[in-house]
Amino acid sequence: MADILTQIQDELDMLLNQMQSSLAYIHYRTPPAPIQNQPLLSSFAEHEAQTQAQQAASQPNNAQPAPAAPEPLPTPEEFQKDIRELSRDLLLKEQQIEVLIGSLPGLHSSEAEQVERMRELEKELEELEGERLKAVKEKEELVKLVEGRIMSLGESA
Amino acid sequence: MAQPPPEEEEQFLTSIFPAPPPFYKHFTPTNLSALKDAQEKLSPNTNDQNSNKNSKDASSSSFPTTTLTPTQLLDLPAPLREQLTYLIPPPPPDPSVEYRVFGKPTKLGGDDPFEYIMQYVRNRLWNPDTSQGLLPLWEYERLYPADPSSKSSLSREGAGDTQMTDENNNNNTQTTQQQGEGGGGGDWGTLDRQTYLFRFLRSIIIKHVELLGILATDPTAPAPPDADGNGPQVILPENPFNPGTPLYDKAKDKVLREILNLVMNMHALINEYRPHQARETLIRVLEGQVERKKKEIEGVRRMAGRVGEALEGLRGAAAAAGGGEEGGGVDGNEGEGSSSGGGGGVEKDEEKIAMREMWRALEGV
């Protein structure tokens, strides 16, 4: 796992990406609002797809396949649902970043305190190393003792 | 002469990384000893010269890590000089002198490229020469104090404050707007980075909502007058889409600039936090090591105790078994062992148990 700082920065970029994509979604996918007492016309993208499909139909020998018709625009209900989902995701991401910021380590210690703590730990480590060496020596002596016992047992048997 | 190029080519093809500099071949034992000789030969000379002028200089030049100066090197006979040239590292450049790395001017101390990066971002967003781009007029503006004092009591206070805003933020964004912008007017110097990060983050969300509002109502609306009452800034004297009128700053651009500035501030804050985290990580590692060593020592001690016990048991059993036949055969001190002599099968079993015990202990060792 990357460290928290990098994670925050990545998530921050992700947040901006989400903002952009939600704006783009609204920009491109909003269903047209029907105007009262006016005939409902197809959108530009639909119109283009239709004309191209007609062209392709009128020229059956054309090797180039007709481009796929654009995805139909969502209904107003779907669109509302999608927008809700997008905004929930956006806030969720924001909350995630807040959690990450909240779990930043060592916020309550200044640099001097940190250096102090490091010195302490270093000293403790050195002491422990000496103790460890002593313990290892003791262990080796014991092993020697045991070996001696086994040898003497073997002799005696 | 024809031989080396193919060899190099082969190396180039077989290795991902570039070949080491060719002078590593000069670090042979003979060359190194020759260097030592030359240094020893030359050091007394310099000592003699310097001792006439200054004894302190002489003592410093007799320091074991003395290297040959270029002039000394030039005084050496040609073959030796050739041999030794690559063994002496060049002196590091002066901290104030610029040198080039990958074609980029660099200084020994390294300089903060932040300003350059901001300038670069700015020029990417808006080209001042052609007056074209996505977002004009953006300038990086620092929104947090230059050197925030991170006193523990104060930062704790800040943490409590952010927790409160946390709860509000869960409820709705409107509250965070008040919190985020209300907090902006607080005492800057006494709050820690975490609080600033929270503030910036929430402000970004608010600005996003603001941007949505602007785009929904009128994307081309001119920027509202600022605090001083100045109207929107003129970006271009001639609007390319509407000749005859100047191109004004737009409200959406203003919000976008603010979002960008907030994000840049967050990134800068996080990057400033990195040395702190590095120290913190080091402390964690050290703590882990202390913990591990303590455990190891404890393990060794426990093992020693078990071996000792097993030995005691064995000694007792062995002495008991061998007590009748061969008095001092097993070990030297059997004062307590021989006293429990006598008896047959029970002691034999005990001996076996003791042996098993000891082997188990030995396996642990």
Give the distance from residue A11's alpha carbon to the nearest chain B alpha carbon, in angstroms.
Answer: 11
Strand-pairing partners, residue B242, are B239
Give the residue-averaged pLDDT of B228-252. Answer: 77
Q: Do B314 and A149 touch (CB under 8 A)?
A: yes
Q: Which two tokens stand for residue A89?
A: 């995701």
Give the distance from residue B53's alpha carbon to the nearest chain A alpha carbon, in angstroms.
Answer: 43
In this prediction, residue B185 carries a pLDDT of 34
Q: What is the mean pLDDT of chain B?
A: 69
Residue B158 or A20, more confident: A20
Angle CA A46–A51–A54, to nearest 5 = 125
Nearest to A156 by CA among B334, B335, B345, B359: B334
| Model confidence at B64: pLDDT above 50 | no
Q: Which residues contact B231 (CB under 8 A, 6 or more apart)?
A: B222, B225, B248
Query: B9-57 pLDDT, tens per residue?
Result: 555 566 677 777 777 787 888 888 887 887 777 665 544 444 444 433 3
Q: Do B204 and A15 touch (CB under 8 A)?
A: yes
A109 contacts in B (CB within 8 Å)?
152, 280
Do the Cβ atoms of A99 and B163 come closer than 8 Å?
A: no
> In this complex, how many residue pairs, one in chain A and one in chain B, have their CB atoms less than 8 Å apart?
157
* pTM of the shown model: 0.58
Q: Do B277 and A9 touch (CB under 8 A)?
A: no
How many whole angstroms separate alpha carbon B193 and alpha carbon A5?
12
Long-range pairs, B159-162, Cβ under 8 A, ≥24: B159/A107, B159/B192, B159/B194, B159/B195, B161/B191, B161/B195, B162/A102, B162/B194, B162/B195, B162/B198
In this prediction, residue A108 carries a pLDDT of 63
Range of the domain at A143: 110-157
Give the distance from residue B353's alpha carbon to the nearest chain A alpha carbon, in angstroms.
Answer: 14
Asked whether residue A144 is assigned to any structural domain, the reply reads yes
Interface test with A, best of B217, B271, B276 (most A CBs within 10 A): B276
How many whole angstroms separate alpha carbon B212 and alpha carbon B210?
5
Of A101-110, B290-299, B304-313, B321-330, where does mean pLDDT reach its minimum?
A: B321-330
In this prediction, residue A13 carries a pLDDT of 92
Q: Do A90 and B205 touch (CB under 8 A)?
A: yes
In this prediction, residue A88 carries a pLDDT of 94
CA B294 to chain centre: 27
How many whole angstroms separate alpha carbon B94 and alpha carbon B92?
7
Query: B67-125 pLDDT, tens per residue?
Result: 566 667 677 777 777 777 777 777 777 777 778 888 877 777 666 778 888 888 888 88
In this prediction, residue A66 carries a pLDDT of 52
**Prediction ipTM score:** 0.70
Q: Which residues contact B268 (CB under 8 A, 6 or more apart)?
A: B114, B142
Query: B136-148 pLDDT, tens per residue?
Result: 888 888 888 765 4
What letter does residue A2 receive in the DSSP assignment? -
Q: Do B311 and A101 touch (CB under 8 A)?
A: no
Q: Is B317 exposed, middle or buried (0-12, 13-18, 19+ CB in 10 A)?
A: buried
Task: Report the largest interatomic distance among the alpha carbons of chain A, rounded to a whole angstrom.
Answer: 117
Residue B191 or A26, more confident: A26
Interface test with B, best of A101, A110, A152, A155 (most B CBs within 10 A): A101
Q: Do A106 and B280 touch (CB under 8 A)?
A: yes
Q: In this prediction, what percent of chain B has a pLDDT beyond 70?
A: 64
A23 contacts in B (CB within 8 Å)?
211-212, 215
Query: B160-210 pLDDT, tens per residue?
Result: 333 333 333 333 333 333 333 333 333 333 347 788 888 899 999 999 999
The structural domains of chain B, ordered by start, are 22-37+67-91 (no CATH), 100-135 (no CATH), 190-224+244-319 (1.20.58)
Asked whether residue A37 is assigned to any structural domain, the reply reads no
Query: B263-272 pLDDT, tens per residue?
Result: 999 998 888 8
Residue B19 or A93, more confident: A93
In this prediction, residue B338 carries a pLDDT of 39
A122 contacts in B (CB within 8 Å)?
286
Asked whether residue A130 is assigned to any structural domain, the reply reads yes
Q: Do A111 and B276 touch (CB under 8 A)?
A: yes
| Model confidence at A89: pLDDT above 90 | yes
Give the distance from residue A74's alpha carbon to the nearest chain B alpha carbon, in angstroms.
Answer: 19
Give the distance from residue B255's alpha carbon to the nearest chain A alpha carbon, in angstroms.
Answer: 13
Sequence length of chain B is 365
In this prediction, residue B85 carries a pLDDT of 74
A93 contacts in B (CB within 8 Å)?
none
How many whole angstroms separate alpha carbon B195 and alpha carbon B155?
8
What letter does residue B25 receive in the DSSP assignment? G
H or E element: which one contains A80? helix A76-102
In this prediction, residue B174 carries a pLDDT of 36
How many whole angstroms separate alpha carbon A139 and alpha carbon A147?
12
Of A123-132, B40-49, B235-244, where does mean pLDDT reach its minimum?
A: B40-49
Q: Which two tokens stand for residue B234?
A: 């003129």
Give the distance from residue A45's alpha carbon to the nearest chain B alpha carbon, in angstroms.
Answer: 22
How many whole angstroms separate alpha carbon B41 and alpha carbon B51?
16
What letter does residue B113 receive in the DSSP assignment? T
B289 contacts in A (CB within 8 Å)?
125
Q: Which two tokens stand for residue B163?
A: 């927790």
| Model confidence at A126: pLDDT above 80 | yes
Asked whether residue A147 is assigned to any structural domain, the reply reads yes
Do the Cβ atoms of B199 and B251 come closer than 8 Å?
A: no
| Model confidence at B229: pLDDT above 50 | yes
- In three-state secondary structure terms, B237 is coil
In this prediction, residue B110 carries a pLDDT of 67
CA A14 to chain centre: 8
Domain count, chain A: 1
E strand intervals along B190-339: 234-236, 247-248
The answer to whether the Cα torsion of B276, B279, B285, B289 is positive or negative is: negative
Asked whether residue A99 is assigned to any structural domain, the reply reads no
